[in-house]
Amino acid sequence: MRNGSAFKRHLKLRKIKGGLFSTLFLGSTLVGTLVLIVLLADVLRDSAGWLDWQFLTSYPSRKPEEAGLLSAFFGSLWVMMFTALFSFPVGIGTAIYLEEYAPDNRLIRLIQMNISNLAGVPSIVYGLLGLSLFVQALALGRSILAGAMTLTLMSLPVIIIAAQEAIRSVPEAHRLGAFALGSTRWQVVRRIVLPSAFPGVLTGTILAMSRAIGEAAPIIAISALVYLTYIPTNPLDRFTVLPIQIFNWVSRPQEDFQHLAAAGIIVLLVVLLSMNAVAIFLRNRYQKRTEE
Amino acid sequence: MANNSTSLEARKLELWYRNFQALRDISMAIPRNQITAIIGPSGCGKSSLLRCFNRMNDLIPGSRVKGEVLFDGRNIYAADVDPTEVRYRIGMVFQKPNPFPKSVFENVAFGPRVNGLADNLEEIVEHALQRAALWDEVKDRLHKSAMELSGGQQQRLCIARTLALEPEVILMDEPCSALDPVATLKIEDLMRTLAGEYSIVIVTHNMQQAARVSDMAAFMMMEQDRAGVLVEYGPTARLFTNPKDKRTEDYITGRFG
Amino acid sequence: MEIRTAFHKKLREIQDDILAMGSMVNKATLRSIEALKNRDLNLARQIIADDQKVNQKRFEIEERCIELIATQQPMASDLRIIVAVLSIIVELERIGDHAEGIAKIAILIGDEPPLKPLIDIPRMAEKTVDMLTRSLDAFIKRDADAARQIAMEDDFVDELYNQVFRELLTFMMEDPRTITRATRLIWVAHNLERSADRVTNICERVVYAVTGKMEEIGGSKY
C-alpha cells in the first residue's frame, strides 16, 4: 500500500512552492512594466503643452518657445534611409554566405565569433571608428553618408545574427527536397530559403534600425553639430539627429529646455514604435503569404 | 553487368563521412522498372546507400565516395557529371513529408521551374498529380497551401513533385514511417502502380512493407567498425522465405538485435 | 540476442504438440495391430473413439498456426516451419485415420478364426511407427539428411506390402472360402502402406522446413 498521508503532505508542499514561484515571476514582469509606465507618464507630463506643430516645424533656437526639431527629424530620416540601404543587403548577404555557402573551417568560425562579439561592442567605439575611417580617411567629412556608414557598421552584426537565425530556422528538409529536384544552390537559396526566412530577416533588420535611430553616442563622435538651421538636401551635407538634439536640450540648465527634451523624446518614441509596427506588419504579411 | 534490365548499378561502392567509413564494398544492380527494397537494422547505412544513388551525400561536408554508381552505363561520380543533373533524373522522396510552404500547384511545378521546363506547367502538374493518385483530392485546392493537406496527402504530393520531372528512378527513404496504416497502404499501392514505369528503390524499417511491396530485396548490416555492408540481395519472395545467409535469417526472424 | 521471445516460445510449443500428436498416432497404429492380433474388440472400439482426440489435436494446432501467421507475420525459417506444421498435421491425422480403419477391420473380422499367424503386418506397423517417430525427430532437430534417409525406407514397407499381398493371393487361389478374410487383411496392409507413404510426405515437409526446397523424395511406386 502507498502511504497516502505522506503523498498528500508532499503534494501540499509542492503546490505551495509552485505558487511562490509563479508570484515571484509575476513580480519580475511587473518591475519592468511599472518602470516603463512611470517613465512614459513622467515624459508625457513634462512635454505637456510643448509638443505642437510649431515644435515639429521649427529649427533649433536659443529661445525655448521658438525651438523645434525639424532639422534633427529630417537628419534622422536621412541617416536611417542610408543605413537601411547599406546594412540590409550587406547583412543579408553575409548571413546567406555564412549559413548556406561557407565551408565549416577555422577561418569561418573565427569570422562568426567576431561577428557575435562585434554585436556587443559599445556604440561609442563605432563612433570613433567612423570618425577616423569615414570622416577622415575617406574624407566624407561630418556628413550624412559618414553617419549612415557608421551606424551601418554598428547595426550589421545584429542584422547578420538575426538573419542567420532566420535562415537557420528554415527546415533542412525543405532544402534537401529542393536539391533532390535538381535545384542549384542559388535556386535553393532564392526559392526556398529566402522566402521562408524573409519575415525573420526583416524583423531583425528593423529592430536593429530602431536601435540605431536612438543612438546618440556614435553620431556625437562624428558630428557634434547641434544648431543646424536647414534641412539637409544631399548625402554629403552636415546633419544632426533626434537623440543629439534631445541630449543637447537635456544638458541645458533652463527649465523650459527640459520640456523640449521631453517633447523630443515623445517624437523619438513615436518614430521607434512606428518602425516596430511596420516590422510586425511586414512579418505577419509575409508569414501569411509563405504559408499559403 | 549493366544491361537493359539494369537501371542503376553500384560497383565496389564505399562511402566515408570524414574518417568514418559508412559503406564498404557495396555491389548491387537495381533492376529497371521494378521495386527494390533495402532493409536492415538502424545505422546499417541503408539510407546512406540510397543517398549515394542521387549524390545527396555530396551535400554533407566531409563525405567521400569510392567506387562507381553506373546509371545508363555512365558513372554518376565521374568528374564531368553534374550532381544537379543526376538529381534531376533520379528523384527522391524523404522520410517525413516535406512539401514546401507554397501552394499545391507550386510544389509540383517547382521541379520543372528550376530546371527550365516552364512550358505547359498546368498540364505537367495535373499529369503528375494524377499519377500520384492525388488529383481528385486536390484539384479544387491547387492554389491553397500544401501544408493544409494530411500527412499521407503531403507524401503523395512529394511523390507527384518528383514525378513532374519524369525521372527514371525514384528513391524513397522510409516514405511511410511518419504515416498511419491506411496512408501507408495507399502509398504502397501507388508504388506498385508506378513500378512498371519507374525503377523504385525503397529503404524501409518495416520488413512486412518490404515483403509486400518489393520485387527485389537487399539486406544490409554493419560490421564491427560500424561500416555498412550488403549481406544478401535477391528476389523478395526468396529472401523472405529462404534466405541464404544466416545473418539475414536471424534478422528477419527476429533472432538478432 | 533473441528479440521475438514470445513468438518463438509459441512456435516451440507448437512443435512440442506435433510430437505429442505423433505419439498419439503411433500408439493408435500399434494398438490397432494389437487389437487385430488379439481379437480385442474393446481395444478396437477404444481406438476408434480416441481418433476423435487426434482430430481435435489437429484443429487445435492448425488454429494456433493461423493465429501466429495472422499476428506475428513469421518470415524465413519461422514461416517455413509453420507451413510445414500445417502439412504435417494433416498427414498425421490421416495416419490416425488409417489406424482407425484397421481398428474397424478388426471389428469386422470379429472372432473369425485367423487365416494365418500375423507376421509381416506387425512388421509393417512397427516400421511405419519407427519411421514416423524418427521423421518427427528429424523435424525437431532440423535434420534434412535424416529426413531424406527415412523417406527412402518407405521402400521396405512397400516390399513387405507386396509380400503380404502375394501371400494372401495364394491363400485365395487355393481356397476361395478364404477370400473375405484374406481381402480384409489386404486392407489392413494397404492402410499401413498408405501410412508409410504419408510419413514420406512428412519427410518432404521436413526437408522444406530446413532447406526451403520443395522436393519429391524416392517417389512411391504406388
DSSP assignment string, A219-264? HHHH-------S---STTSB---HHHHHHHHHTSSSHHHHHHHHHH
By the 8 A CB rule, do B202 and B213 touch? yes
What is the reported pLDDT for B1?
41
Q: Which residue of B has its CA nearest to A188?
A: B114
**C205–chain B nearest CA distance, Å:** 14
**C75 contacts B211? CB cut-off 8 A:** yes
Domain assignment present for C219: no
**Mean pLDDT, residues C77-89 taken together:** 95
Specify whether the CB–CB gap between C192 and C136 falls below 8 A.
no
**Tally of domains within chain C:** 1
- Those residues whose C-beta lies under 8 Å from the C-beta of residue C141, and which sit 6 or more positions away, are none
Q: Is residue C220 part of a domain?
A: no
Q: Number of B to C CB contacts under 8 A, please give it.
A: 43
Question: How deeply is C190 buried, as exposed, middle or buried, from its count of CB atoms within 10 A (0-12, 13-18, 19+)?
Answer: middle
* DSSP string of C76-93, one letter each residue: HHHHHHHHHHHHHHHHHH
Q: With bands split at pLDDT 50, 70 and 90, how would you rate the model's confidence at C217?
A: confident
**pLDDT value of position B218:** 96
Whether the pLDDT of residue C66 is over 90: the answer is: yes
- State phi, psi for B201 to the nearest 5 degrees: -120, 125
In this prediction, the answer to ipTM > 0.90 reads: yes
pLDDT in tens, C105-138: 999 998 888 888 899 999 999 999 999 999 999 9
**C112 within domain boundaries:** yes
Query: Is the CB of A103 inside 8 Å of chain B's CB atoms?
Result: yes
Domain assignment present for residue C222? The answer is no
What CATH number has the domain bearing residue C81? Answer: 1.20.58.220
Touching, C vs A (3+ Cβ pairs under 8 A)? no
Tell me if A67 sits within 8 A of A260, measured CB to CB.
Answer: yes
- Residue span of the structural domain in which A35 resides: 1-47
Q: For residues A31 and A83, state if they share a domain.
A: no
**Is B72:B167 a contact under the CB 8 Å cutoff?**
no
Ranges in chain A, pLDDT < 70? 1-3, 224-226, 287-292
**C218 or C27: whose pLDDT is higher?**
C27
Contacts of C10 (CB under 8 A, 6+ apart): C64, C68, C72
The verdict on A37 and A172 lying in the same domain is no
Residue C134 lies in a domain: yes
Helix (H, G, I), strand (E, B) or coil at B126: helix
**A104 and A27 share a domain?**
no
Residue A172 touches partner B, C-beta closer than 8 Å: no
For residues A200 and A256, what is the distance between their CA atoms, to the nearest angstrom?
Answer: 43
- What CA–CA distance (Å, rounded) separates A91 from A106? 21
Low-confidence ranges of chain B (pLDDT < 70): 1-3, 256-257
Q: Contacts by A186-195 with C-beta closer than 8 Å and gap 24+? A: A187/B114, A188/A100, A189/A96, A189/A100, A191/B110, A191/B113, A191/B114, A192/B100, A193/A96, A193/A100, A193/A167, A194/A96, A195/A286, A195/A290, A195/B101
Tell me, yes or no, whether A72 and A138 share the same domain: yes
Do residues A38 and A59 share a domain? no
Predicted confidence at residue C1, as pLDDT, reads 53
Q: Is residue C87 part of a domain?
A: yes
pLDDT at C207 over 50: yes
Sheet bearing B63-71, strands edge to edge: B74-75, B63-71, B6-17, B20-31, B228-235, B216-222, B35-39, B199-203, B169-173, B90-93
Claim to verify: residue A57 and residue A163 sit in the same structural domain? yes
**What residues of chain B lie within 8 A of the CB of A291, using their CB?**
101, 145, 147
Nearest to B84 among A182, A195, A292 (CB): A182
Q: Do A107 and A249 belong together in one domain? A: yes
A105 touches chain B (CB under 8 A): no
Is residue C221 in a domain?
no
CA distance C184 to C180: 6
For chain A, what percent of residues have pLDDT higher than 70? 96
Contact (Cβ atoms closer than 8 angstroms) between residue B45 and residue B58: no
Cell of A199: 519575415
Position A3 scores a pLDDT of 67
Contact B253 C78 (CB under 8 A): yes
Dihedral, CA atoms, B235, B237, B240, B244, nearest 10 degrees? -50
> Do A118 and A223 fall into the same domain?
yes
The answer to whether the CB atoms of C79 and B254 lie below 8 A apart is no
Q: Which residues contact B239 (CB under 8 A, 6 or more apart)?
A: B217, B219, B232, B248, B252
Given a contact cutoff of 8 angstroms between Cβ atoms, the answer to whether B32 and B5 are in contact is: yes
Helix (H, G, I), strand (E, B) or coil at B75: strand
Please report, rounded to a whole number, the percentage of residues in chain C having pLDDT higher than 70. Answer: 96
Report yes or no on C80 lying in a domain. yes
Q: Is the Cβ of A185 closer than 8 Å to some Cβ of chain B?
A: no
User: If phi over 0 gives left and psi between -120 and 50 gives alpha, with beta otherwise, what is residue A21?
Assistant: alpha
Query: Do residues A142 and A275 both lie within one domain?
Result: yes
Are both A136 and A198 inside the same structural domain?
yes
Residues of A in contact with B94 (CB under 8 A): 173, 176-177, 180
Whether the full predicted model's pTM is greater than 0.90, yes or no, is no
Q: The CATH number of the domain where A115 resides is what? A: 1.10.3720.10
Q: Are residues A168 and A239 in the same domain?
A: yes
Indicate if A28 and A125 belong to the same structural domain. no
Give residue C12's pLDDT.
92
| Min distance B242 CA to chain C CA atoms (Å) | 5
- Determine what percent of chain C falls in helix, strand and coil, rounding each to the nearest 5: 85, 0, 15
The predicted structure's pLDDT at residue A93? 95
Shortest Cα distance, chain B CAs vs residue C76, angstroms: 4
How is residue B70 annotated by DSSP?
Answer: E
Residue A109 zone, left/alpha/beta (φ > 0; ψ -120 to 50; rest): alpha
pLDDT at A213: 86
Determine the structural domain holding residue C77 and report its residue range: 2-211
Structural domain tally of chain A? 2
pLDDT attached to residue A252:
84
